[in-house]
Amino acid sequence: MSVNVEAYHRIKEELAAGHVQLVAVSKTKPEADIRELYELGQRDFGENYVQELVEKEPVLPKDIRWHCIGHLQSNKVKYIAPFVHLVHGVDSWKLLKEIGRQGDKCNRVIDCLLQVHIAREETKFGMSEEELGEVMEKLPSLGNVRVRGMMGMASFTVDESRVKEEFSFLKKLYDRFAEHPSVNPDWNILSMGMSADYQLAIFEGSTMVRVGSLLFGARE
Ligand SMILES: *Cc1c(COP(=O)(O)O)cnc(C)c1O
């Protein structure tokens, strides 16, 4: 078994004080690993690839809350719409609209987070502050989708001050948009922090961390 049970308990303890939620990122990991963590009480699991999500969901316990954390293409929303718990990586108005449309079709409200580009790296997905403002203006016209907050990924660097700065920037945006007239009362999720930087993220105000390799070991 490759789940790091000790790390799981340690992280859970670290998160408990601030009521921060843990999403266990199980991408590329086998069902057996997910079951092992499930047996310890973990219910929130995150996957990046739609294909993997739709393969794992039917064969694992029904009370698992599946988080789609990766880059999501509009044409794939329909595959996860019936069961997904939270879509973290909404980076365009087009995608948000499609999620609302699929929510209508499945007759359920789909929760999601707006992904903001906070890293200085080009490779990370997410909206700019300006795009975010535009999306917020249009929110009331949406279908069965509820925007619960924001998500961001910091730069992949050992420079802690830079990572902190990026998280702090996201937290400020999150707080600012919480006051926006289009925002619903359920705006209460700030998803930031991964294995390498979740402690910094919590310090900067994260309410939900997405941790993979610390729990499941390194990926191929
Ligand atoms: C893979 C991934 C994670 C988890 O990364 P670790 O470094 O293994 O903790 C978190 N968030 C996103 C968006 C990811 O793609």
Question: What sections of 115-194 are H helices per DSSP?
Answer: 129-138, 160-178
- For residue range 85-144, list pLDDT tens digits in order: 999 999 999 999 999 999 999 999 999 999 999 988 777 789 999 999 999 999 888 889
Q: What domains sit in the chain, N to C, each tagged with a CATH number?
A: 5-210 (3.20.20.10)
* pTM over the 0.75 mark: yes
- For residue range 143-167, list pLDDT tens digits in order: 899 999 999 999 999 999 999 999 9
User: How far is ligand 1, taken at its centre, from the CA of residue 212, in Å?
Assistant: 6
* Mutation probe of ligand 1 site: the residue of 28, 87, 151, 194 with most atoms within 8 A of C-beta: 194
* Mutation probe of ligand 1 site: the residue of 8, 25, 91 with most atoms within 8 A of C-beta: 25
pLDDT, mean over the chain: 95
Strands (E) across 41-171 are located at 44-47, 65-68, 86-90, 110-116, 145-152
- For residue range 30-55, list pLDDT tens digits in order: 999 999 999 999 999 999 999 999 99
